[in-house]
Amino acid sequence: ELKVEQNPLFLSMQEGKNYTIYCNYSTTSDRLYWYRQDPGKSLESLFVLLSNGAVKQEGRLMASLDTKARLSTLHITAAVHDLSATYFCAVGEPPSNTGNQFYFGTGTSLTVIP
Amino acid sequence: DAGITQSPRHKVTETGTPVTLRCHQTENHRYMYWYRQDPGHGLRLIHYSYGVKDTDKGEVSDGYSVSRSKTEDFLLTLESATSSQTSVYFCAISAGLIQETQYFGPGTRLLVL
């Protein structure tokens, strides 16, 4: 069974600061996902990383993937309050005709303090 | 939102009663998934479907069954609900050329008393 570990689980940071969330996974995969979830809401897809060395950026968030290290990072630049949410990483099995499973980390609860 | 709806959105039921949750999609996606979300566990896959009448188990399938008789509907049934099945249930579909992206429904909050 593929395991996905995120750290930290809880993150409180001041506005304007930078920080990185880490996502480690246990077996080879080149399909890594980042999601955002606001309290009481569903999950919103942020990034889909499909190859080693992939880097994607959207606003103050940048995600990268190192498949050899089995590590993905979500970097937050100059945090603002609107980024407060829970962030999940997930790893997908390779696609097949009979479907594929996705495995989620436990999430990082981010609070940005003014 | 990839045209995904879930019903009911909230349900309170008693231990031992059967419960069926419905996921409906409007865009003819082949792959559909049921997850449960619990504090400290993230999302865990219950069952998934790769076509009409084609389903398979995920990592936490005990106590759950699913059915998919038509492309647009994926049903999750708790045959005899237990308090440990109190959770938020999310349906998802995967889309894209290589099924690379998952989109989630709004969720169903289930409380088993």
pLDDT at position A99: 77
Q: Count of A–B CB contacts within 8 Å? A: 61
Subunit contact B50:A97, Cβ cutoff 8 A: yes
Q: What rounded mean pLDDT belongs to chain B?
A: 94
| Structural domains in chain B plus CATH codes | 4-112 (2.60.40.10)
Note whether A99 contacts B: Cβ–Cβ < 8 A: yes
Task: Let me know: does B19 contact B78? Beta carbons within 8 Å.
Answer: yes
Give every CB contact of residue A69 below 8 A, 6+ residues apart in sequence. Answer: none
Distance from CA of B12 to the nearest CA of A (A): 17
Beta strand A108-113 with B101-104 is unpaired
Rg (CA), chain A: 14
Distance CA A65, CA A29 (A): 10
pLDDT digits (tens, 9 = 90+) for B23-70: 999 989 999 999 999 988 889 999 999 999 999 999 999 999 999 999
Note whether A33 contacts B: Cβ–Cβ < 8 A: yes
Give every CB contact of residue B41 below 8 A, 6+ residues apart in sequence. Answer: A106
Task: Let me know: does B17 contact B81? Beta carbons within 8 Å.
Answer: yes
| Among the partner residues B44, B56, B106, nearest to A99 by beta-carbon distance | B56
Task: Let me know: does B16 contact B85? Beta carbons within 8 Å.
Answer: no
pLDDT at position A93: 84
pLDDT-derived band at B1, boundaries 50, 70, 90: low
Q: Give me the mean pLDDT over the B16-24 stretch.
A: 98
Residues of chain A with pLDDT under 70: none
- Tell me the β-bridge partners of A108: A87
Distance from CA of B15 to the nearest CA of A (A): 24
φ, ψ of residue B84 to 5 degrees: the values are -70, -10
| Structural domains in chain A plus CATH codes | 4-113 (2.60.40.10)
pLDDT at position B110: 98
